Structure 1
Amino acid sequence: MSALEQEAEVALEALLLRVVPGLAELWKGSTPDAIAQVEKIAGRPLPSFYRWFLTRMGQSMGPLAYPTLDFSTQRVLDCHARGWVEPHPRLLLIAYDSNGMMPMPLFYDLDAPARGDALVASKEEGADEDDLYEKFETLREMLAWGALSRFRLRKMPQTCNGTFSGDSPDLLALIEPVMSSLGFTQPIPTGPYCGLYERDNAVMICMGMPRHGADMSRSFEFGATNAGVLRKVLGEIAAASLLDLRVDEWFPAST
């Protein structure tokens, strides 16, 4: 693991322990033997971040757990042992989906590495590898995005969502200096598709689809103590970045 990758893990751990109540007492990692069994299925070295994740949360994610997704090492091994999923040279199951209506388990695309991690995608049962629904460029970003959404943004009295669009494929590079000037910090380093910004009274999470490098938009969710804060920050972004900004919904409705 490189020094930069180590710093990213330290930053993510600090973020999760800060925003997820009781996580330190309830998360539980996998044994080295269980991790080695997953690596054998992968047929190649695991991404360094995935090894970190399994070491911290491979048995239990505590309150960070997703409602229908089981990321546990034991579930991954059971799915292979029962023949529910076959070993694949490129795709590695990382989360079983218990949604009975339309399960969408999560896979690593090991041929799409990024910053000591790899692309996370879902696919329907029986679908081939060309029918992947790409979710996040890295599992690290998925976990950070989800934690900020569930444990900070959704607890804000006022939220909104929408899109930024413009002529540059790297839209977040235009947003970041504006957010910094307004006192927002980025809790972990991210790539060009995921933006995470927070300060005491507000939090914004942005995302785009991995591999769609030519797309010219990023969706956002934004929460704050009141609608005035949201309008002021969004106005600053639109004015300073020259991006087109569209707000789709306010919760609760705002006039």
Structure 2
Amino acid sequence: MSAHVKESELESLLLRVVPGLADQWQGATPDEIEQIEHLAGRPLPSFYRWFLSRMGNSMGRLAYPTLDFSAQRALACHAEKWVASEPRFLFIAYSSDEVMPLHAFYDLEAPARADALVTVRDALGNEQHDRFETFREMLAWGAFLQFRVGIMPQQCEGMITGEPAGLLSRLDPVMNRLGFTQPVPTGTYCRLYERADAAMICSSPPSADFEGSQVFTLGGGDEGTLRRILGEIATEPSLEVEVDEWTPKLG
């Protein structure tokens, strides 16, 4: 599948689930994009170019509370020598978290599907924490959590575990049988599922160490709907389901 098709699918999802996004997002200028590519010292991942062209100046309601992904912020941090240019890591988001500011970087030596791995770390370059295999999946996951799963009357979260090899490939047929579709293509460490009355996200850090587990959040109309979905998943011999929390809490 071409990068253009993937971006079209993501754009359709975002415009569908994020209210008013088409009137809110604002792209960076071509000059700003070229300046960022110059700092990277190599061609930008094509998805990042798409992101900057669509919302490099404003993400509208899709904006993260403590992460600033704007082109202006990235360029300003470089201009102020707050962050250094590196051959491998490209600074893409400034964290304003007062307790533990972990800023977002692309790992340009971990490309995937016309995109690249997103990791977070402090400004000094200490221990990094890999978050998503691609920035595309990070955006889709966040939007789906907030504007699709998060608006459901009843939600629950927990863990799906199983044999590491192909865990999600075994979950996919179960969800398909339950009438769920996948609005955007994803890789080994992330899934988005939806049907008219329910939606679910799954993810794990992009590492072979986590391939046998997926953290999930499932939303639907009521407790019964969610229990029936989880019950069907649990009937798959190679999958186990553990629920850790219900929102709102059950009586």
- Answer yes or no: is the 8 Å Cα contact 2:163–2:238 preserved in 1: no
The CA deviation at 1:213 is: 5.1
Identify the residue that residue 90 of structure 2 maps to in structure 1. Answer: 92
More deviation, 202-211/234-243: 234-243
* CA distance in 2: counterparts of 1:190 and 1:79, whole angstroms: 31
The CA deviation at 1:214 is: 5.8
Identify the residue that residue 6 of structure 1 maps to in structure 2. Answer: 4
Q: Equivalent of 1:201, from 197, 202, 211?
A: 197
The CA deviation at 1:106 is: 0.3
Identify the residue that residue 123 of structure 2 maps to in structure 1. Answer: 125
The CA deviation at 1:102 is: 1.6
- Answer yes or no: is the 8 Å Cα contact 2:204–2:210 preserved in 1: no
Matched residue SS, 2:100 = coil
Matches within 5 A, 1:1-255: 4-128=2-126, 131-212=127-208, 215-254=211-250
Matched residue SS, 2:235 = helix
* CA distance in 1: counterparts of 2:210 and 2:155, whole angstroms: 29
The CA deviation at 1:142 is: 0.5
Residue type of the alignment partner of 2:69: F
- Percentage identity across aligned positions? 55
Residue type of the alignment partner of 1:185: T
The CA deviation at 1:39 is: 0.2
* CA distance in 2: counterparts of 1:108 and 1:13, whole angstroms: 21
- The number of equivalent residue pairs is 251
More deviation, 160-169/218-227: 160-169
Residue type of the alignment partner of 2:100: M
- Answer yes or no: is the 8 Å Cα contact 1:31–1:55 preserved in 2: yes
- Answer yes or no: is the 8 Å Cα contact 1:169–1:214 preserved in 2: no
Cα displacement string for residues 126-185 of structure 1 (whole angstroms, at most 9, x for unaligned residues): 133xx2101100000000000011111111111001111112332111111111111111
The CA deviation at 1:241 is: 4.9
* CA distance in 2: counterparts of 1:23 and 1:190, whole angstroms: 22
Cα displacement string for residues 36-76 of structure 1 (whole angstroms, at most 9, x for unaligned residues): 00000000000000000000000100110011111000100
Misfit runs of 4+, over 6 Å:
none
- Closer/same/farther in 2, CA of residues 214 and 96 from structure 1, 3 Å limit: closer
Q: What's the TM-score, normalizing by structure 1? A: 0.95
Residue type of the alignment partner of 1:91: F
More deviation, 191-200/92-101: 92-101
- Answer yes or no: is the 8 Å Cα contact 1:80–1:87 preserved in 2: yes
* CA distance in 1: counterparts of 2:237 and 2:140, whole angstroms: 25
Residue type of the alignment partner of 1:120: V
**Structure 2 stretches of 5 or more lacking a match?**
none
Matched residue SS, 1:142 = helix
Q: What's the TM-score, normalizing by structure 2? A: 0.97
* CA distance in 1: counterparts of 2:22 and 2:125, whole angstroms: 37
Matched residue SS, 2:236 = helix
* CA distance in 2: counterparts of 1:139 and 1:43, whole angstroms: 19
Residue type of the alignment partner of 2:35: Q
